[in-house]
Structure formats: C-alpha cells, structure tokens
Amino acid sequence: MHDIVLIPGDGIGPEITESVTTILDEAGADINWIRCTAGLSAHKELGDPLPGDTIAAIEKHRIALKGPLTTPVGSGFRSVNVAMRKKFELYSNIRPAKTLPHIKSRFDDVNLVMFRENTEGLYIGKEQWVKENSHAESIAVVTRSASEKIIRAAFEYAKKKDRKKVTLVHKANILKFTCGLFMEVGEEIAKNYPEIEYEDLIVDNMAMQMVLQPEQFDVIVTTNLFGDILSDLASGLVGGLGLTGAANIGDDTAMFEAVHGSAPDIAGQNKANPIAFLFSALMMLEHIGEENRADRIRQAVYYTLENKSACTPDIGGNGTTKTFTEAVVRNLKK
C-alpha cells in the first residue's frame, strides 16, 4: 500500500481528480490517498494558500499528486506551485509531449521530453519597485549547482530511455551571465555522455523550430521561464493542454501534476479533459515501480481516444469528463 498525498486543487482540479482516482482505483492501484488542500481554495477556506498540514503531509509521505492551483494575476499571493517546488527542491520538471493515436494535430511523430529547471531563474520572486508604479525590476538567479542537477537529470534520462539527443535551450547571446553559465555547464556535462548527441539553440529560434519541425527534438533541457513557455507550446503540438502530464522530481520528494492550470473558463462544467492529469498519475505509478499498471491504463486511454462520443470537446469529442472516465474504466477490462 502506497501513501500518496492528494491535492485536488482549484478550478477543474476537483473534477479531474475524481476522474483520475476512480481510474487508478478501478485499475487496482494499491494507494491510500491522503487528501490535503492548497491554492485559492485553501486560501479562501483557511486563509492560507499553503497550509502547514499539507507541507507536513508531503514531508512525511514524499510523494504527491497535485491538481492545478490558481495564482492571482498581477497581485495577491505568490504562486504556491513555485513555493512547493522550491521548498521540496523539486529541481526537475519533466514534461513529455508525444503524438497520441486518434488525436488530430499538425504533426504525426512528436516524441519529446522537456526538462525544465524548476527552482530558480526568473521564478524566485525577487521583484521590486525601483519607483512605485513606474519602474519595476526582477532578478533572475542561475547557479552552477542547480544547472548541473537539471542538465545531468536530462542526460541520465536520455541514457536510461535510450534517447539519442539532448538540446539545451538558452538566450546566452543576451543573458551572458545567467544563460551563459547554464550553457557552459551543459557543454561540460555533455562531454560525459559521448553516445548522446548534444546541441544548443537560442530560445527564439527554438520556438520557431518546434512549430516548424518538432520531430527533430528528443530530450530538451532549459531554464525555468523558457521551459514553462515551451512546454505549453509542446502540448499544443500534440493536441493541447488536456493531454500532457508532468513530474516534479527532487532527490527525496516527487510531485506529479499536469502541465495545464486550473482552467477557470471551463471549471465545474464536466468538460475538462482528465488525460493530462491521468498521464501525470501514470508517471507517478512508474515512479513507485508500477509500470505494468501504468501501461495497462495508458492502453485503455488509447482505446478510448478512438471513441469520440466518450472524449471531451477540447480534443474534438462530444462527451464529458464523466463519459471519458467511464469509458476508460470499461476499457481497462479489455
């Protein structure tokens, strides 16, 4: 029995959580869900977007499945996601984007994995007014140690999964110190993996290359902000944000969540696509050694994708979160 912290989150979070826990339970996963709160819902209920009990539960159990959390735009409390990634030193944000059967997208053969540095860059939240309302500044931090961790994680993953190439993405032509350091570390680490092809690309060119010819990419490693933006782009390449899962991994803690946010525009309408969150949960099952169960559930999702009447509208279906969930549960028995 695995004790796993479950944070349903905000917006569509509770709906997709219900779907994913149903599917995992029906697939026989031996999980004891420890339910906790965080985000806007926790802020409203308890006056704290990251309650002490939630932190304590993650510290105790070390594995969490987390729904999306709403972060107020422009003002209000700072991102709880960013705070948790920092607090538990979840330095690798791993975001695969793979073409799926029966899903219409512009490309047939995308199979890339983004490694996004998850603890520093521009996301440390060191912002200040130089002059109130007329001059703001924000500090980006890049350290050798965090860069080494994420870049090494990307190469180790490539080696383990027999992937052929690592592409490091930067803006070292302009950001000569921060991105310059990241790139320098990449060149050093790449020398230890002669069997893996290594290249670096400037982020603006990368954005264009990904839209034009994404099949050329395999493992991608980049800093926090670029990884945030390019992983949404990667989701778009394979059919949208409803389809891409993610893992935040540190040395002793792991937290699994979708790439997407709380989607307030469709919350509470039984329309949210639970696949992204389900794929995050499958990464979690693989993490705890339940690869076979993860494969079986993935196969049931692939069967379900063929049946548009069961799928959600974001991927061209005319079903709901519920019809999709029920169809996957049925297909588990195939």
Q: List, by residue number, the catalytic residues.
A: 123, 171, 204, 228
227 binds ligand NAI (CB under 6 A): no
116 binds ligand NAI (CB under 6 A): no
Amino acid code (one letter) for 165: K
**How far apart are alpha carbons 147 and 192 in whole angstroms?**
15
Q: Name the one residue in this structure whose structure tokens are 């607090």.
A: 87
242 binds ligand NAI (CB under 6 A): yes
Output 93 or 331, the one with its CB closest to Mg ion.
93
92 binds ligand NAI (CB under 6 A): no
Stretch binding ligand NAI (CB under 6 A), from 94-102, 202-210, 264-272, 325-333: 264-272
Least Å distance between CB 272 and ligand NAI? 4
69 binds ligand NAI (CB under 6 A): yes
Least Å distance between CB 221 and Mg ion? 17
Phi-psi region of 204 (alpha: psi -120 to 50; beta: other; left: phi over 0): alpha
Of positions 100, 183, 221, 272, contacts ligand NAI by CB under 6 A? 272
Helix (H, G, I), strand (E, B) or coil at 248: strand
Stretch binding ligand NAI (CB under 6 A), from 105-113, 145-153, 162-170, 263-271: 263-271
Q: Which residue, judged by CB position, is nearest to ligand NAI in the bound state? A: 261
Burial 208-234 (b: 16+ CB within 10 A, else e): eebeeebeebbbbbbbbbbbbebbbeb
Choose among 94, 65, 70: nearest CA to 255.
65
Of positions 265, 309, 333, 334, contacts ligand NAI by CB under 6 A? 265
Q: Both tokens of residue 58? A: 């993650």
Phi-psi region of 137 (alpha: psi -120 to 50; beta: other; left: phi over 0): beta
The interface partner of residue 120, options being ligand NAI, Mg ion, none and the CB cut-off 5 to 8 Å by kind, is: none
Binding site for Mg ion (CB under 5 A): 228
Of positions 19, 21, 81, 253, contacts ligand NAI by CB under 6 A? 81
Choose among 168, 159, 169: nearest CA to 196.
159
183 in Cβ contact with 143 (< 8 Å): no
Residues numbered 298 to 317 that lie near ligand NAI (CB under 6 A) are 314
> In the chain, which residue ranges form alpha helices assigned H by DSSP?
13-26, 40-46, 52-61, 80-87, 144-160, 178-190, 203-212, 224-237, 275-287, 291-305, 321-331
71 binds ligand NAI (CB under 6 A): yes
Stretch binding ligand NAI (CB under 6 A), from 45-53, 63-71, 107-115, 158-166: 63-71
Which residues in this chain contact ligand NAI in the complex, by CB under 6 A? 12, 68-71, 81, 241-242, 257, 260-266, 272-273, 276, 314
